Structure 1
Amino acid sequence: MFTPQAAILLVITAAGLTWHFQNKKEELRIKRIKEMKNQKYGKARVGGPFKLKTQDGQDFTHEDLLGKWSIVYFGFTNCPDVCPDELDKMGKVVDTRPDARNGPSIQPIFISCDPARDSNDAIKTYLSDFHPRMVGLCGTYDQVKATCKAYRVYFSTPPDVKPGDDYIVDHSIYFYLMNPEGEFVDAFGKDRSAEDVVARFEEAVGEFEKEYGSKV
């Protein structure tokens, strides 16, 4: 007999399974990225040429990553909880290096994977609640898709939607640490704290200086 209690149990079980598989999927994505990073025949194939617009309407390309340490996150402004949590975390990381006097500073970058809704103004308004140095980027659907492909980022935004359409955006939930050569260093998921990221950043700075022989 199907009782109300059984229905509630079924809903709870389904929600739990959905959460479990989503987290497992994200763990596998990060694992694949880190496996690429550790290949013996070269650096990880994460990152590459892209061209987007900032929240102020200025061109921003992969060349703007050069000469700086960057942390890069892909999300969207209508994200209810995960994106705000990750952007807050990024802000805490950035605040550990406020300027170059205490070592290399960090450039925080938010790339929208919802071009239909995330205009420059929408991104600017959204990022006003986060770190003041946050750079917000977006572009056409094709530009965003190419950037996500270069960074091995999954996103589900339909290609033919229009502002006002009702749809769900699913996307990879982690951010990247990129070195001043524009090279991928590491990926951080929801389970990594700001302190974890800072510790890895400090380690990466030492590795970079040893390889390139100069400080940034």
Structure 2
Amino acid sequence: SSSSSSQSGGGGRPPLPLWQRLAVVSVLGGAAAGAWLHLRAQREQERRRRWARELRELALGQGDFQLLDHTGRPRRKADFRGQWVLLYFGFTHCPDVCPDELEKLSRAVELLEADAALPPLQPLFVTVDPERDDVAAVARYVRDFHPRLLGLTGSPEQVRAAGGAYRVYARAGPKDEDGDYIVDHTVVIYLLGPDGLFLDYYGRGKTPAQIADSVRRHMQTYEPLPD
């Protein structure tokens, strides 16, 4: 009849069973999803490469430095690659702020050292007062803090270059009748990752426990930058 003829499509091939149609849709959908996932992975990889390039170009602390540690050994920023670093800029004649901050830094390092699952952390002190803070003065100063605190100094030009790499402000005030003076400077503890890049900073309001918690989170979620 005409009705049966129209249902059969004029004598053409009968429609596929429902299960076969669903299988075809599933295969096509799977292929499309696979292609989409592959494209998304490529885009994510490219995004991470672009992010890595931008971070390397824009991150604080990208400039290398050449200084002397408190044993007189030459040190460059590259010497600390592969290590986590907490870095503080200050001066040995600082009456209260620098000792307080270095005590805080030292305590944070101790808290992190108590967790054997975490990688080691190198504490660094860089003077902003090279005129008075020679190697011997820095060596005497760092003895009062964490036993692994490494003090760094150098020529005025070297110290300015090191501070400039981290946007550190430092300006010596007027001298008193004894020739003494205070250096106004940025009061920040910097966190550097194993690739040498600036990751975080901690101002005066942070406690040792808060710094340790933040560093721990960075360590636990750290992923090396792609090449």
TM norm structure 1? 0.72
Using the TM superposition, give the Cα deviation of residue 97 of structure 1 relative to its aligned residue in structure 2, in angstroms: 3.1
Query: Quick one: which of 63, 84, 90 aligns to 1:69?
Result: 84
SS in 1 for 2:103: helix
Q: CA RMSD in A?
A: 2.3
- Are 2:111 and 2:209, in contact at CA under 8 Å, matched by a contact in 1? no
1:110 aligns with 2:125: yes
Deviations 1:67-106 (A, max 9, x none): 1000000000000000001100111111123388432111
Identity %: 38
Q: Structure 1 counterpart of 2:138, which letter?
A: I
Q: What is the rounded CA distance, in whole Å, between the counterparts of 1:203 and 1:102 in structure 2? A: 13
2: CA distance between counterparts of 1:60 and 1:185? Answer: 21
Partner of 1:135: 150
The unaligned stretches of length 5 or more in structure 2 are: 1-50
In 2: Cα distance, 1:152 partner to 1:132 partner: 27
Superposition map of 1:1-216 within 5 A? 42-43=54-55, 44-47=58-61, 48-98=63-113, 101-157=116-172, 165-209=179-223, 211=224
Deviation readout 1:123-160 (Å, 9 max, x if unpaired): 111111111100000100000111111111000038xx
Query: 3-state DSSP class of the match of 2:85?
Result: strand
Match of 1:131, SS state, is coil
**Paired letter, 1:90:** L
Query: Following the alignment from structure 1 to structure 2, what is the Cα–Cα distance between the partners of residues 101 and 194?
Result: 18
CA distance in 2, matches of 1:196, 1:98: 15
Counterpart CA distance in 1 for 2:187 and 2:129 is: 14
Structure 2 counterpart of 1:76, which letter? F
Measure, in 1, the Cα distance between the counterparts of 2:133 and 2:146: 18
1:168 Cα deviation after fit: 2.5
How many correspondences in the alignment?
A: 170
Shift of 1:202: 1.4
Task: Measure, in 2, the Cα distance between the counterparts of 1:99 and 1:195.
Answer: 12
Instruction: Name the TM-score, length of structure 2 as normaliser.
Output: 0.69
Distance in 2 (alpha carbons) for counterparts of 1:98 and 1:196: 15
Tell me: CA distance 1:95–1:171, structure 2 relative to 1, closer, same or farther (3 Å). same
The structure whose Rg is larger is 2
Runs (4+) of structure 1 moved beyond 6 Å? none
On the 8 A contact 1:99/1:105 being kept in 2, the answer is: no
Taking structure 1 as reference, are residues 125 and 148 closer, same or farther at Cα in structure 2, changes over 3 Å only?
A: same
Q: Distance in 2 between matches of 1:175 and 1:94?
A: 12
